[in-house]
Structures are given as C-alpha cells and as structure tokens.
C-alpha cells in the first residue's frame, strides 16, 4: 500500500506520542500510588498511636474485657484488618482479625512504631508505654529533682488492609490510562491536523509536480507559509514559469525551424546508418516523391556507394550527381552529405541537402548555344557586309550597262543575268543581315505578301526537297505597320519549326488573308481589320501539354544541341510588340496550324516615288570609301545623274579634301567600315570642320545591324544607303538629304 507523507509522518509520530503518554501515565500512576500509600501509612500511624493509648489501661489492669473492648474499638475502623496486644515480654494477650505471620519486629530504640509490608497488609508494631513517677522507682534526677519515666508494658500489632489503597490505586491507574488514551487520541488528531495543515502546501506542490509531469505548467497558489515548504513552492513557481517560457521559446523555435525546413528551396533529408530516409522536407518530396532508400534517387548505384564511402570516412561530400526525379527521368543535382556520430564516435546516420541545378544546367547550355549562335551571327553579318561590298560594284555597273544597251543586243542577256544574280546575292545578304541584326523595330507601312514572298525565297534554300512549300496569298490586301525584318523572322521561325516536325517530308503552307470573326486568337476573337498570316504543316503535331508551354522561353522538345527553345517565344514577342495576336492548333499525327493576326493600316497614303529629272542633281559630292571598286562605281553612277563627284580612298584622305574644298562640297557619302580611321571618327571630324555639312552614311551592314550607324543618325547624319545599291537608291537618298537645306531642322 502506498503511504502518503502525512501517513508516514503520523505513523512516525504516533509511537512517540504513545511512549510519551505511557511514560507520563506510568509516572503519574506511580506518584499517585505513593501519595495514596503515604496517606494510608499516615492514617495507620495515627491509628497505631491511638491503639497504644487505648491498650495501655487494659494491659495494666490485665482485664480481658477491657482488651476486647479496645480490640472492638480499633476493629471498628474498616481499614484495620487485625488487632493483637502483647505483654512486655511479647506474649500474645489477644488477637482479632487476619492471622499473625512472622515475628514482631523490634522497634528501634526511641521509636514509637515500626511497619512491615507483608504483601497483603501493612503491619504496624508499636510499643505500649505507661508513665510512672521516678519516685516510685527510686530514681532521682540530676539536681535531686524527681522526673517521669516511661515504662514499656506491652505492644500492639495492627494489620491495615490494602484494599482501599488498591481500589484507590486502581482508580488512579484507570484515570491515568483514560487520560493517556485521551491524550494520545487528542494528540494524534492534533498532530494529524497540524501535519495536514503543515503539508497542505506540500500537497499542492505535489499535485503541481504531477501536472507538470503531464506537460502542464501550473503554479502553486495561496502560499501562506514562509518556511522551507513555502520557499520551495515559490521556487517551484519560478521554475514552472521558466520551464513554460523555455518550452514556449523552444516550441516557437522548433516551429520556425520546421517552417524553415519545409519552406527552404533545397531538398533537405536525414538518413539512418544504412541509408534509409527517415526524414525529408517538402522540396525533397516534390523532387523525388516518397522514396525509402537514398540510393534509389541517384542514377547510378556506384555513385551512391561512393558518396556513402566518402561520408563514412569522416569527410563531407559536395559533388554534382545525376538523379531520378518524380516527374523527370533525369535531374542534375548538387549533393551535400554530412556524417552524424553517436557519443561513441560511430556513425549513426547522415544529414544532407540537395540543390536542383537541372534548369541552371539547361540555361547554361542554352546560353552557350546562344553565344555560339551569336558568334555565328556576327560572323555571318561580317561576311554579308563584305559580300555586299563585292556585290555593290557588280550590281551598280551591271545596272549602268543595262541602261546603255537595248534588248536584243549581244551582251544584253549576259549582263541581265549578271545583274539578276547580283540582285539575288544582294537579297540573300540582306536576309542574312536581317536575321543576325539586333531586335530593334523599324516600323513602317509594309505589304505582308512581299515579306512572305521574300521569306519563301530564302526558305527554299534550307527546306528539304521532300517538303512541298505552298503559298496562298490573297491579292490587294491592305498594308500593315510592321518591321519587315521582324515579320520575316516570324515567318522563318514558324517555317523552320514546321520543317523540323516533318522529318519524313510533308506539306508546308504559308498564306495571308483577311481575318474573319473567328474565336481562335490568343486575345479572343480576331477583330475586323486584321490580316491573318497562317503557317500549316502536316508533321507529327503536339500534345496538349506541349501546346500549353510551346510559347515559354527555352522550352523545347528537341534533343540537346538541336534547339534553343527560343523560336516560338521570339515569334510571340514580336507579334505582341506589333499589337497582334497568335494562336496554335495541333493534333498528334495530324500536324499544326499557327495563326498570326496583325492590325491593318487605315488611311496611310504612300508617297509617290521620285522619277526622271527629280532624281538628278548638279551639286558636288565627296565619296569616302576604302573599297576602290565601290568608290569608282559610285562616282560613275552619280556622274550619270549630273553630280560632280570627288573620290577619296579613306578617312584621312577624305578629311584633307574636305578641308580644302568644304565650301564647294554639298554632301559627303561616308563609308562606315574603313581602316586607319573609322566612319564614326571621320563623321565627327567632318562636323568639327563644318557643323552644317550634310553626310549620308553608307555600309554593307543594315542601319540597325551596326551600332555606330544608328548612333550617328541620332547625332545628325542626313541619311543612310545600304550596299549594294542601285542608281535609284543613291539618287533618292541624295535628294532627300540635299532637300533638307530648304527645310532646316
């Protein structure tokens, strides 16, 4: 049985109380017995003294009757159990009551009585004296004065009963025992009450400790005592508050750590010593699902074993690995693995985290491909520039020769062939430059059909022969406001995607028509007044999932190294920048249709081209070009138009000529790419010599394909001619630039 502190204290104190009560009762009873005995002895001594006086006369007279009378008188006292008289020789004269046992004690000299306790009675022996005169016995006192003399004449023996004493003692004992019982019981109750009162704070403290054990944080209330228990209760309250505060802090900290553990973008995990996953955050589950063993997420068993081997050797593992994802067959990850040790220094598990760098790797690969493409584009642009310089002389001189001969002339057909070939070469170079130049919109009113036709000419050189190209362009369509090169890029990108979808051949259809009120555009129904450019193929088609992401940047279904994932993203961006919409319809195995909706231009009047005499002039023109063939061709072409032409083979030579003849020179045609001094430096020096000088820039690059051209146009250049150019192109550029003198600013 479980004993409480109160019961233990009571069981400990009760024997002490019993012992104290027993000792006290024993002492009290003993004292009372002695008092009763002393009182009885005193009464017996008084009765004995009375008996000595009562028996004096009967003994002197020798009268039996008187002795009987004395005995009767003494026996009348209830305490007297026996009476006996003796003569002076201690011979029994008379006896009444309890028998006499033993010899009568001899009282000491001078004493009046002696007492013997024979167990049942208090027996008193007392001598009986009579008083005689000294004269009677012939004894003189000193000084011859007579005196009285006491003479022993007998003795009396009285037996006093102990019954009264025993009754009195019994009453004393009973009273003492009752008092002891009452004292013990009362003391026990009082002690129990005091213990209960004293241990009430301790009980409250015990209950509070039990609640604390269950996870509560109680406080002991109504602390009234200032003793150790009270101090202990106060200390417990402080401890409970401190534990509560620390528990709250730990709970809050644990919650923050758990939230951080779950929210962090890295996949965090914990393994046991065998590599089983015992804890992982949500990012880990998102990447790999609910897997049991860590080595199951890595692509190779050897890589997992190597990671554990290195971590088990006490090292920290940081390495790039291939992993199997929940939604992707292959992930590129950065794995960090740390060994955890038990108190004995043995490995008890592993902690680690994983960073998914799959997209980063893809971006790096795409960036590398983009850089390669940019390098190829730069190379292609440079080659196109040089190609344009070569074609400039061929195209210019063939044009002038055709102007001089008639159809049917023996050289008309060869020269025409040369001229047309040069034009095709120039168009090809222009298309290459349009594709490789930077995305800067040069919006103007254009005929979308012309852009489609030019794009198809370029596509025929890159589309396999097993793919049939069909055009379906309506005539007399309204014009649109667009950048021709960007529109061409839209057509080329859509056509190349269609080509890649028809690896085994098929049919590619490119057409332009007025848009109907159809619910197919990305922005809702195509409004009236829009042209629809459509590109259709009979390729493999796309799944719904692919269609949902097809316009995302860097999304591609092609193998690594065969696509950047930017083609349709660029198409979408260009169309959006032109205020248009795009949609896509595809079925797997049936092909894909892409519709591009572009707003038409209303009320834009085309400027009537200059012809005949309006293209001619008589001003002095300085041509600065390091390509001698281009310079000579420009001089001959301008001379035919009536201009006076000065020719310089470089920037330094041209500046010298301009300083000498600046007042006579009306306009300078300045090549941009020259050795020793660039076109930009020459332009700035020309402006420093004569700020109002008119300068028309010339280059094999397009205007927005070479940064220096656009900058100089913003700084005050009066026009731009792209090589190769014909008579009409250069004549028109000169007339526009020279006409500005009548309209300054």
668-724 confidence digits (pLDDT tens)? 999 988 888 888 899 999 999 999 999 999 987 766 556 578 888 888 888 888 888
Secondary structure of 577-588 in HEC code, one letter for each residue = HCCCEEEEEEEC
The pair of three-digit structure tokens given for residue 633, joined into one six-digit string? 């061709």
Give yes or no for residue 742 having a pLDDT over 60: no
Residue with tokens 């003796």: 86
Are the CB atoms for 616 and 641 separated by under 8 Å? yes
Give residue 659's region: left, alpha or beta (phi > 0; psi -120 to 50): alpha
Q: What is the DSSP letter of 692?
A: T
Q: How confident is the model at residue 739 (pLDDT cuts 50, 70, 90)?
A: confident
pTM, rounded to two decimals: 0.42
Residue with tokens 């795409």: 366
Q: How confident is the model at residue 246 (pLDDT cuts 50, 70, 90)?
A: confident
Least confident of 128-142, 153-167, 443-457, 627-641: 128-142
- Average pLDDT of the segment spanning 504-521: 76
> Nearest CA to 390 among 417, 426, 415, 424?
426
CA distances, 239 to each of 206, 219, 224, 235 (Å): 14, 9, 19, 6
The pair of three-digit structure tokens given for residue 696, joined into one six-digit string? 């028309």
Q: How confident is the model at residue 620 (pLDDT cuts 50, 70, 90)?
A: very high
Give yes or no for residue 524 having a pLDDT over 60: no
> Nearest CA to 495 among 536, 556, 464?
536
Mean pLDDT of the chain: 78
The pair of three-digit structure tokens given for residue 488, joined into one six-digit string? 């061409």
How confident is the model at residue 426, as a pLDDT? 72
Segment holding 482, helix H or strand E: strand 480-482
Give residue 506's region: left, alpha or beta (phi > 0; psi -120 to 50): left
Fold of 613-741: Rossmann fold (3.40.50)
Least confident of 258-262, 315-319, 375-379: 375-379
Are the CB atoms for 620 and 734 separated by under 8 Å? no
d(CA 72, CA 68): 6
Fold of 5-168: Beta-Lactamase (3.30.450)
CA distances, 450 to each of 101, 479, 724 (Å): 170, 10, 20
DSSP-derived secondary structure for 191-250: HHHHHHHHHHHHHHHHHHHHHHHTT-----------SHHHHHHHHHHHHHHHHHHHHHHH
d(CA 648, CA 628): 9
d(CA 428, CA 413): 22
Q: What is the DSSP letter of 525?
A: S
% the chain with pLDDT above 90: 9
How confident is the model at residue 375, as a pLDDT? 66
Least confident of 325-329, 334-338, 517-521, 577-581: 517-521
For the chain, percent helix, then strand, then coil, each to nearest 5?
Answer: 50, 20, 30
How confident is the model at residue 520, as a pLDDT? 41
Q: What is the DSSP letter of 594?
A: E
Tens digit of each residue's pLDDT (9 = 90 or more) over 536-572: 999 888 888 777 777 766 666 665 545 555 667 778 8
- Average pLDDT of the segment spanning 221-238: 71
d(CA 495, CA 458): 11
Helix (H, G, I), strand (E, B) or coil at 350: strand
Total Cβ atoms within 10 A of residue 261: 15
Backbone angles phi and psi of 104, in degrees to 5: -70, 130
Highest-scoring range by mean pLDDT, 116-130, 416-430, 500-514, 599-613 = 500-514
Residue 135 vs residue 359, higher pLDDT: 359
CA distances, 136 to each of 127, 148, 528, 556 (Å): 22, 9, 186, 170
Total Cβ atoms within 10 A of residue 736: 13
Burial of 307 (0-12, 13-18, 19+ CB in 10 A): buried
> Nearest CA to 75 among 100, 98, 42, 104?
98
Give yes or no for residue 215 having a pLDDT over 50: yes
Residue with tokens 């012809």: 611
How confident is the model at residue 743, as a pLDDT? 41
d(CA 292, CA 277): 6
CA 353 remoteness from chain centre: 14
The pair of three-digit structure tokens given for residue 710, joined into one six-digit string? 């656009």
The pair of three-digit structure tokens given for residue 558, joined into one six-digit string? 């092609």
How confident is the model at residue 308, as a pLDDT? 67
How confident is the model at residue 561, as a pLDDT? 47
Q: Is the peptide bond before 724 cis (omega within 30 degrees of 0)?
A: yes
Hey, where are the domains in the chain?
A: 5-168, 264-356, 442-606, 613-741
Tell me the CATH class for 264-356: alpha beta
Are the CB atoms for 212 and 218 separated by under 8 Å? yes
> Nearest CA to 132 among 111, 147, 154, 112?
147
CA distances, 548 to each of 522, 538, 581, 709 (Å): 12, 20, 16, 41
Give yes or no for residue 257 having a pLDDT over 80: no
How confident is the model at residue 670, as a pLDDT? 92
Question: Do the domains 264-356 and 613-741 sit in the same CATH topology, yes or no?
Answer: no
Residues in CB range of 664: below 8 A, 6 or more apart: 620
Total Cβ atoms within 10 A of residue 639: 12
Are the CB atoms for 168 and 79 separated by under 8 Å? no
The pair of three-digit structure tokens given for residue 205, joined into one six-digit string? 């403290």
Tens digit of each residue's pLDDT (9 = 90 or more) over 279-304: 888 888 888 888 778 777 776 666 66
Q: What is the DSSP letter of 524?
A: B
Domain 442-606 has CATH 3.30.365.10: no
Give yes or no for residue 526 having a pLDDT over 50: no
């Amino acid at each position: 049985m479980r004993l409480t502190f109160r019961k233990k204290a009571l069981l400990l104190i009760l024997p002490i109380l019993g012992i104290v009560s027993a000792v006290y009762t024993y002492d009290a009873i003993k004292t009372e017995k002695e008092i009763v005995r002393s009182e009885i002895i005193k009464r017996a001594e008084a009765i004995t003294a009375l008996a000595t006086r009562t028996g004096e006369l009967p003994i002197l007279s020798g009268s039996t009757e008187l002795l009987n009378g004395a005995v009767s008188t003494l026996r009348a006292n209830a305490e007297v159990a026996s009476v006996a008289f003796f003569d002076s020789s201690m011979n029994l004269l008379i006896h009444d009551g309890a028998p006499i046992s033993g010899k009568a004690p001899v009282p000491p000299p001078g004493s009046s009585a002696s007492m013997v306790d024979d167990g049942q009675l208090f027996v008193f022996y007392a001598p009986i004296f009579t008083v005689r005169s000294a004269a009677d016995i012939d004894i003189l006192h000193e000084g011859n004065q007579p005196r009285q003399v006491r003479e022993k004449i007998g003795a009396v023996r009285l037996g006093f009963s102990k019954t009264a004493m025993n009754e009195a003692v019994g009453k004393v004992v009973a009273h003492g025992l009752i008092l002891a019982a009452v004292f013990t019981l009362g003391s026990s109750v009082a002690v129990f009450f005091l213990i209960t009162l004293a241990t009430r704070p301790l009980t409250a403290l015990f209950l509070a400790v039990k609640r604390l054990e269950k996870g509560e944080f109680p406080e002991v209330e109504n602390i009234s005592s200032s003793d150790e228990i009270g101090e202990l209760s106060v200390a417990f309250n402080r401890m409970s508050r401190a534990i509560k505060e620390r528990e709250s802090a730990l709970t809050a900290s644990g919650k923050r750590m758990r939230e951080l553990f779950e929210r962090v973008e890295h996949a965090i995990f914990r393994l046991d010593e065998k590599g089983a996953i015992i804890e992982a955050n949500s990012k880990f589950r998102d990447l790999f699902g609910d897997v049991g063993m860590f080595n199951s997420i890595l692509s190779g068993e050897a890589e997992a074993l190597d990671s554990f081997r290195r971590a088990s050797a006490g090292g920290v593992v940081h390495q790039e690995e291939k992993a199997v994802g929940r939604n992707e067959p292959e992930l590129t990850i950065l794995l960090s693995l740390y060994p955890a040790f038990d108190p004995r220094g043995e490995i008890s598990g592993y902690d680690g985290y994983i960073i998914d760098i799959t997209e980063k790797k893809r971006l790096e690969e795409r960036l590398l491909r983009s850089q390669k493409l940019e390098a190829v584009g730069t190379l292609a642009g440079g080659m196109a520039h040089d190609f344009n310089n070569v074609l400039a002389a061929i195209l210019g001189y063939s044009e002038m020769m055709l102007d001089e001969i008639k159809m049917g002339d023996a050289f008309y057909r060869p020269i025409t062939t040369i001229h047309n070939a040069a034009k095709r070469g120039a168009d090809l170079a222009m298309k290459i430059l349009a594709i490789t130049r930077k995305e800067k919109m040069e919006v103007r009113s254009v005929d979308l059909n012309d852009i489609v036709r030019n794009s198809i000419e370029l596509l025929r050189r890159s589309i396999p022969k097993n793919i049939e190209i069909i055009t379906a362009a309506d005539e007399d369509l309204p014009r649109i406001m667009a950048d021709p090169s960007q529109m061409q890029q839209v057509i080329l990108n859509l056509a190349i995607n269609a080509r890649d979808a028809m690896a085994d051949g098929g049919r590619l259809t490119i057409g332009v028509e007025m848009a109907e009120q159809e619910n197919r555009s990305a922005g809702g129904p195509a409004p009236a007044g829009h042209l629809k450019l459509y590109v259709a193929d009979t390729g493999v088609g796309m799944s719904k999932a692919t269609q949902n992401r097809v316009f995302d940047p860097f999304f591609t279904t092609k193998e690594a190294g065969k696509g950047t994932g930017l083609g349709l993203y660029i198409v979408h961006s260009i169309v959006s920048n032109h205020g248009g919409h795009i949609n896509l319809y595809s079925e797997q195995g049936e092909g894909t249709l892409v519709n591009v909706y572009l707003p038409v231009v209303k009320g834009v009047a085309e400027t009537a081209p200059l012809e005949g005499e309006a293209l001619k002039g008589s001003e002095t023109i300085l041509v600065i070009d390091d390509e001698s063939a281009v310079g000579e061709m420009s001089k001959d072409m301008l001379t035919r138009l009536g201009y006076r032409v000065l020719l310089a083979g470089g920037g330094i030579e041209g500046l010298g000529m301009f300083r000498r003849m600046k007042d006579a020179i009306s306009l300078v045609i300045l090549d941009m790419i020259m050795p020793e001094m660039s076109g930009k430096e020459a332009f700035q020096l020309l402006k420093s010599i004569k700020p109002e000088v008119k300068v028309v820039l010339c280059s094999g690059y397009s205007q927005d394909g070479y940064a220096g051209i656009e900058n100089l146009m913003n700084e005050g250049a009066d026009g731009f001619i792209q090589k190769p150019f014909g008579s009409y192109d250069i004549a028109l550029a000169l007339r526009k630039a020279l006409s500005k003198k009548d309209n300054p600013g």
